[in-house]
Chains A and B, each alone.
Chain A
Amino acid sequence: MGAFILRRLALAVPSLLGISVVLFTVLALAPGDPFAELATNSNVPPEVREHLRASLGLNDPVASRYLHWLVAMLHGDWGFSFISRVDVSTLIWQRVPVTLGLIGTSQLLALAIAIPVGTLSAVKPYSWFDRIASTIALAGFSLPTFFTGILLILVFSIKLDWLPFVYRSDVEATGWHAVVEHVRQAIMPVCVLGLFQGAGWTRYVRSAVLDVIRLDHVTTARSKGLAERVVVTRHVLRNALIPVVTLVALQMPTVFGGAIVTEQIFRIPGIGSLLIDAILRNDTPVIMGVTFVFSVLVIVFNLVADLLYGLLDPRIAYR
């Protein structure tokens, strides 16, 4: 298992480098020169400007600029925010746990919906349950997160006044009350993200289970006299989950996109809303930092999916 993890980690390095190249290329191709202001300022003589550019390495060839940038990024030296004058890395690390918590809980909710519903649909395909579940899944999958968020706010915050619609990290309560408040304000964001993903994954689980349930080993398990429950959970589901894990990993970029939107709607102080704020205020170092963190997170989740894959299918793990 250890060697397997190491090999996967080694495979993640080229994709990380690839992403860093893409990020740097986008930045290098972008119009706008940090020295544009100096160029138009007649008080700065051209030779001083040239000297400044040279001392900051702006005249170096692209490759060496990329290397400098990459080394700085890997050292955690991400520069300062233009707006708040705080280290970009401090700013981001403060907010990463919130985002991860939101994504984690909503993914659990999504799986808790998708696996049972998808399996039940596939066990009795074209039954009433399957038809209704499939239609609802397709509808839920077509409801964009920003609209679900607005609908939930309209119903549960404005009409019914049950849940708060602005997420606050400093709840004015202690002990149990604080816990209850935190749960209450997390319900809507987690539902928005979890229901959307759950709807999409229900479709995956259904088709994966449908593929497996026709196989011979399932018939064998049934003819051994195993209870249907055991057949479905132990012989069908475990095999069906293997392609589902791959699809879930492929969906991670979408999940992060949904998290950005959700954080923006409910004003959750995570890295998604940090990104939007930074873009609206032209805070380039923060934008680069957050994009980089998102890229790393996607790769990390892909890695986790690979490990799960190994756990679910022993043939892969020890090959």
Chain B
Amino acid sequence: MASSIPASPTASAPGAASPWREAWRRFRRHRMAVASLAVIALLVASVVLGPLAWRMPIDAIDFSAMTQGPTLAHPFGTDDLGQDLLARMLYGGRISLAVGFAAMAMAVVVGVTVGAVAGISRGPVDAALMWLTDLFLSLPQLPLLLLVIYLFREQLKGMFGPEGGVFILIVLVIGCFRWMQVARLVRAQFFSLREREFVEAARALGATPWRLTWRHILPNALGPVIVAGTIDVAAAIIAESTLSFLGLGFPPDIPTWGRLLFDSKDHLDIAAHWALFPGAAIFLTVMAINFVGDGLRDALDPRRVLS
């Protein structure tokens, strides 16, 4: 489409084709963001493929090698039962990252739905939904997370097994407490977009509200949502680690990074490595995701002037 229009002298980036390519060009300017993207790719690849290469079992108890520092046999050292920490971290990393992405997906879906419904319908529906959003924003999240997990854990464990049940519960709960930002962003975008000429034109052509939302407004409101979603992945990973660190997340046989930290905190004096490796993994992941979020903000906000 853009290629059929002669390029105006102001927007004369060579080969500026799709908005996505333009966004990628802007994203590449943020060097830390590009490096962080590589770090995330590496982390995902290693937790997905790592257990295939590093075949040490995660629960092989070896009392002759308890709380050892890093050695060749155990590059990340061992815990108080002599279990290999590298294997445990690779396995736990899968869960930590999966929770992060799944909770983000849930938060974005709920947030976009609430924000879009509020943004397209004016009046009481909008007011009620925004009241709900503000209420959720002022809830004390961690205490409620803990309360919900305390009350519902046993039931879900019975329904989906210990691993699946806790996973579903944690994703649902984190997702339920993170959608408000997205909802507010989407609503604000809808408010400004729905008065624009192209929406007016579509409406004049007889487009239904559903089509207006789905085809015309939502695609244009996506930029800030992508940024918020990226930050949400980091927040969800922190939330899961916090729950596990408090001993209320995943059970001990599922060594997520937060759980490893929880187990290590009573052995800090003799086995510092046990806490340092999972902690560094959380830190690195969260920081990389935040940097990517920063880069995306630069890339997807066309109003932002970059030198």
Interface residues of chain B: helix, strand, loop or mixed (majority): helix
For A144-159 the 0/1 string (1 means CB < 8 A from B) is 1111001101100010
Out of A153, A256, A282, name the residue touching B143 (CB < 8 Å): A256
Q: A280 at interface (Cβ–Cβ under 8 A)?
A: yes
What residues of B have a CB within 8 angstroms of the CB of A294 in the complex?
140, 143
Q: A153-B268, A158-B269 are in contact. Are A142 and B139 (CB under 8 A)?
A: no
For A1-43 the 0/1 string (1 means CB < 8 A from B) is 0000000000000110011001100110011100000000000
Interface residues of chain A: helix, strand, loop or mixed (majority): helix
Interface members, chain B 275-295 (any A CB < 8 Å): 275-276, 279, 282-283, 286-287, 290-291, 294
Residue contact B275 to A298, C-beta cutoff 8 Å: no
Residue contact A280 to B135, C-beta cutoff 8 Å: no
For A275-305 the 0/1 string (1 means CB < 8 A from B) is 1100110100001101100110111001000
Q: How far is the CB of A11 from chain B (nearest CB, A)?
A: 11
A-B contact count (CB 8 A): 133
Residue contact A31 to B152, C-beta cutoff 8 Å: yes
Residue contact B135 to A15, C-beta cutoff 8 Å: yes
What band does the interface of chain A fall in when counting residues whose beta carbon is under 8 Å from B? 35 or more
Q: A26-B144, A154-B272, A279-B146 are in contact. Are A15 and B245 (CB under 8 A)?
A: no
Residue contact B140 to A31, C-beta cutoff 8 Å: no
What residues of A have a CB within 8 angstroms of the CB of B290 in the complex?
138, 141-142
CB nearest neighbor in A for B283: A143
Q: A186 at interface (Cβ–Cβ under 8 A)?
A: no
What residues of B have a CB within 8 angstroms of the CB of A32 in the complex?
151, 154
Q: A18-B135, A30-B152, A147-B279 are in contact. Are A265 and B265 (CB under 8 A)?
A: yes
Number of interface residues of B (CB under 8 A): 45
Q: A142-B287, A261-B242 are in contact. Are A253 and B139 (CB under 8 A)?
A: yes
List of 8 A-B pairs having minimum Cβ-Cβ separation, nearest first: A257-B142, A30-B151, A142-B287, A294-B140, A147-B279, A142-B286, A31-B155, A18-B135
Interface residues of B (CB under 8 A from A): 32, 131, 134-135, 137-144, 146-148, 150-152, 154-155, 234, 238, 241-242, 245-248, 258, 261, 264-265, 268-269, 272, 275-276, 279, 282-283, 286-287, 290-291, 294
